[in-house]
Copies of this chain bind each other. A is one copy, B any other.
């Protein structure tokens, strides 16, 4: 049983860690309900306080008052690359290589077909069988259209598979962090071997952008995609991003040749001529309310280094796991304990994981369930503190000790993303 002593000691340590954190005070940049410990920022990031005033300005002044003139005056035209550069700073990309556009799925489609065209004659795309499913679906569809074949090889076996495939390989496409288990893969190693055989690498940063130190440029990534609505806090369905390394941009021939990717979009020419640089990865007119909300959201990262964010993330998730240990919660961890092997989430396995998650939500601890048996808890270090982590661990213990997950109301399933 938990003792008062254990509780007090854990809370003391947590408070000290919060006070000493380089992210001290960033929680105040978010508008979170007081009665919630929000551990689902890996599905939908919390509302940054900077967003509503910007959206208000976009609605009333930029759209309502200035109307079409805002394309120039407010530089709507440049928003996708401007916000892209902001994302780039968080993922180790120098300016001019990231564009905010479309959804992650659509960007992966561009990346796979674009990669095939950068490596003509090669026939294989390698990807993780445990990828977030949309990655598998889009990769298969894009590959089929491009005359490529997809092989599903676990990241642990990727290096060997790449060596074996040699110059058959066009692209190795892997997620940086497993969306279910939170395991962090060494994409630099996979990329280095892909380059040895002359192939390309695409990194999916959905569960790492904004929490893990990602070095796209230094790590040699050729392409990368990622999501705007998880740790980047851009709001529900915020646009995604696409990175194309500068060295590939002149030859990046992506299939979604919309007018906003054209070199001379207002010349209204009958044939497509891709714009120079990353702009060619744009497609149609972007949903500006959502693009500009994401731009405002990213100001929460102003003044923070990716290294500090990563350190805080590991410290908070470490505090959560440590508290579970101290409290005697012995659920199996799906997430590796080693700092270098995990992202910013802690996933626990339980045969009644769905009901456990519902019982936690009823207590104000919001996480999510993933098939088949995963309690998935994401720790966004900008607004989840060490104290939150310890409180969450206590809630987990109480839900399990009191068998709250056996209450019938927690067993009913609905759509949760």
List the interface of chain A (C-beta within 8 A of B): 31-33, 36, 38, 40, 43-44, 46-47, 51-52, 55-56, 58-60, 62-65, 67-72, 76-77, 102-106, 109, 113, 129, 132-134, 136-138, 140-142, 145-146, 152, 227, 229, 235-240, 255-259, 262, 265-272, 283-291, 293, 361, 366, 368, 370-371, 414-417
B51 touches A67 (CB 8 A): no
Number of this chain's copies in the complex: 2
Interchain residue pairs with CB less than 8 A apart (11): A32-B64, A44-B63, A63-B236, A77-B417, A129-B270, A138-B256, A141-B272, A236-B287, A236-B289, A265-B415, A289-B289
- With A55-B59, A133-B262, A417-B77 as given contacts, are A140 and B272 in contact (CB-CB < 8 Å)? yes
A98 to chain B, nearest CB (A): 17
Q: Which of B65, B109, B270 contacts A133 (CB 8 A)?
A: B270
Whose C-beta in chain B lies nearest to the C-beta of A44? B68
In the complex, what residues of B have CB within 8 A of residue A229's CB?
285
In the complex, what residues of B have CB within 8 A of residue A146's CB?
145
Whose C-beta in chain B lies nearest to the C-beta of A227? B285
A254 to chain B, nearest CB (A): 9
Q: Which of B44, B56, B256 contacts A67 (CB 8 A)?
A: B44
- With A52-B60, A229-B285, A270-B136 as given contacts, are A109 and B236 in contact (CB-CB < 8 Å)? no
Whose C-beta in chain B lies nearest to the C-beta of A274? B137
A287 touches B284 (CB 8 A): no
A59 touches B67 (CB 8 A): no
In the complex, what residues of B have CB within 8 A of residue A284's CB?
102-106, 134, 240
- With A77-B415, A133-B262 as given contacts, are A103 and B283 in contact (CB-CB < 8 Å)? yes
In the complex, what residues of B have CB within 8 A of residue A36's CB?
67
The 10 lowest CB-CB distance pairs between A and B, nearest first, are A103-B284, A105-B258, A287-B290, A47-B64, A105-B284, A134-B259, A236-B288, A137-B272, A287-B287, A137-B257
